[in-house]
Amino acid sequence: MPAAKANSKFMKPMTPDTVLADIVGNKAMPRTEIVKKLWSYIKKHGLQDKKNKRMINADEKLKKFFGGKKQVTMFELAKFIGKHAK
């Protein structure tokens, strides 16, 4: 089998909009880096639900990122990244 190559879609730099840039910074970065920075923000601010670890509770910055929702599942993060980064 050939060696695994990096998926170019995931490695292509994306530019965050102002809402996402408020959380992860405004320079272009791969989607994987955006996910890493989002998770470090969530953990740093203790926003992962204590009872159900798959749920993320929003603070003011994340509420804007989540389109006004107070809580989302971790599986929805990809959808919101797609909306806020091009």
Question: In this structure, what token pair is assigned to residue 80?
Answer: 């919101």
- The pTM of the full predicted model, rounded to 2 decimals, is 0.85
Candidate CATH numbers 3.30.2020.30, 1.10.245.10, 1.20.1560.10, 2.30.300.10; the one for domain 14-84? 1.10.245.10
Q: What is the DSSP letter of 27?
A: S
Break the chain into its structural domains and give their ranges: 14-84
d(CA 37, CA 23): 8
7 pLDDT exceeds 60? yes
pLDDT tens digits along 30-81: 999 999 999 999 999 999 999 999 999 999 999 999 999 999 999 999 999 9
Cβ 66 vs Cβ 22: under 8 Å = no
Rg (CA), the chain: 14
